[in-house]
Structure 1
Amino acid sequence: MNNANKELMLSINDKSKLLFKHIELIKKSSLHWEIIFNRTDKYNAITNEMYERITEIFDEAAKDKELILLSITGKGKFYSAGTDLTNSAESFTSSTTDIETIIKQGKNRLQKFIDSIINFPKILIAFVNGPAIGISVSTLGLFDGVYASSCATFSLPFTRTAQSAEGCSSFVFPNLMGSIHAKEILLFDRQLTAEEAQQRGLVTRVIDDNLFENEKENICKHILSLPKGSLLASKALMQRWNIDTLKIVSKKEIDTLEQRWLTEEFAEAIFTFINRRKKSNL
């Protein structure tokens, strides 16, 4: 192997190690796996590679015959800052790939990620340990339970970044909250406290931050104590009536996003965001 190939292999291995560090998969038992967002220096923002890794885990978990429960949480003070727009900006300014190809790749990556949640046959629980932004909020309506720390907040800066709704939120949120309340968060960039999110049906229960870790374990133990066959059969029955609709919604949302990504308005918004981050050293 020549030096160039050795350097390439080392680079791939380094990226792989970093990816597995950023997305931790803890197999707590044969019945329960936990995904942990672990990119604390970037507020657990999700990169392209992290999306792919999470989708792989969902696919693996869906096929596992023993698994009942998949839970997701964040390490540190944030749950997740959503999609890493710095990562997206770097892709858009890459000189090695044309914009249309990058957008197509992003569209396919997002579609697979959201489909993996829509199709997921096991129990899916979010433990929102801190602020949640963007796609880490929009997809919560697809989960089976959302338990939030009292210090958690929820925001969807779609319009501020010149984008549009994803994660089936354009359909699920109005059904959960009512049209007026959904528009406040989807259109007008209103941040919700944990208590407000619970009042609007997005959060199952708010837990005092000091008790959050202990209560997480209690919730998981309770779920795992229930008869497995009944639990999963009941989820499948509830999924059945909406799954086709959710897939149609997700496709339309992502088609709309694709068009937004091609606009000058989006380009201006993303670079304004990046410059603001650089100035604040975030």
Structure 2
Amino acid sequence: MADEILATPSGAILELRLNRPEKKNAITAAMYAALADALTEAANDPRIRVVTILGRDGIFSSGNDLRDFQQSPPLDTNQPVFRFLSAISNFPKILVAGVEGAAVGVGTTMLLHCDLVLAAPSAMFSMPFVDLGLVPEAASSLLLPQLIGPQRAAKHLLLGDPFDAETALRYGLVTDIVIGDLEARVRNIAEAIAAKPPEAVRITKRLIRSNQAEVQARVDEEAALFAGRLTSAEAAEAFAAFFERRAPNFG
């Protein structure tokens, strides 16, 4: 399992890589635990100034591993998925993400907590929570409307409409679209930030993200609702339809 999240320190930079390409980097509870632990350790390690988050083999993440969620639903907020969401939303240092290919569900919502997000032209974002009988997470019900407006947020959170890299750039979710070596560009930006005065960087991040108490409150509210929805009849039908490759029937 350790191989499914690769945590590679290099000087002042910690690279976190989702490394489950055979499952399109779908995230399991064990992977969430490893991510949460890595972020917590990096937050407390004075040597680390920047964390980068990458996918593998042209895919960022297909979101939650639904089979894993179905078999071991996280029914309280102490579970790994919610520990990860708390860790990333409260992370005091700089987070730089590089996105290629699919970024589904949490693959998109975690980006709302990153300070810089670089995308390849292939990046495609979607948040199909409602389609699965669930609700948004990672404070996306707060942060996405603030970023793009309530009507466009409804388009993506209620209808589940996907959007491409150009749209993400226009929305402000993506900092830049990189033609060529995305990972090299992520690394270059991380190195540039790591070379700056670290305390000034941390204070600037705190000032930029001054609504942290509100964000944490929404993370907690969504987590409780999300946990409840996992055992709902709607989620059971949506998950069954997904695995059986059929249209769901909600009566």
Q: Is the 8 A contact 1:71 1:125 kept in 2?
A: yes
Whether the 8 Å contact between 2:8 and 2:16 is mirrored in structure 1 is: yes
**Which secondary structure does the structure 2 equivalent of 1:146 belong to?**
strand
Q: Which residue of 2 aligns with 1:252?
A: 221
| Corresponding residue for residue 101 of structure 2 | 130
Aligned residue for 1:203, secondary structure, equals: coil
- Partner of residue 39 from structure 1, selected from 12, 20, 26: 20
Q: Which residue of 2 aligns with 1:264?
A: 233
**In the aligned structure 1, how far is the partner of 2:224 from the partner of 2:230?**
10
SS in 1 for 2:131: coil
Show the 5 A alignment for 1:23-102: 23-29=5-11, 31-91=12-72, 102=73
The 3-state SS of whatever aligns with 2:79 is: helix
Q: Identity, % of aligned pairs?
A: 31
Q: 2:208 aligns with which of 206, 218, 238?
A: 238
Give the 4+ runs in structure 1 shifted more than 4 A: none
TM-score, length basis structure 1: 0.83
What secondary structure is seen at the aligned counterpart in 2 of 1:139? helix
Larger radius of gyration: 1
CA drift of 1:110 comes to 2.7
- In structure 1, the gaps of 5 or more residues are 1-18, 92-101, 278-282
Residue 181 of structure 2 aligns to a residue in which SS? Answer: helix
Structure 2 length-normalised TM: 0.93
For 1:173 and 1:40, locate their aligned partners in 2 and report how far apart those are by CA, in whole Å: 28
- In structure 1, the partner of 2:138 is 167
Higher relative contact order (CA 8 A, sep 6+): 2
| 8 A Cα contact 1:160 1:269, kept in partner | yes
The answer to whether structure 1 residue 189 and structure 2 residue 171 are counterparts is no
Give the deviation of 1:181 after TM superposition: 1.1
Distance in 2 separating the partners of 1:77 and 1:269: 27
1:13 alignment partner in structure 2: none
Give the whole-Å Cα distance in 2 for the aligned partners of 1:106 and 1:276.
Answer: 30
Equivalent residues, number: 246
C-alpha root-mean-square deviation of aligned residues, in Å?
1.6
**C-alpha contact (below 8 Å) 1:32/1:69 kept by paired residues:** yes
CA distance in 1, matches of 2:166, 2:217: 31
Deviation at 1:220, TM superposition (A): 2.0
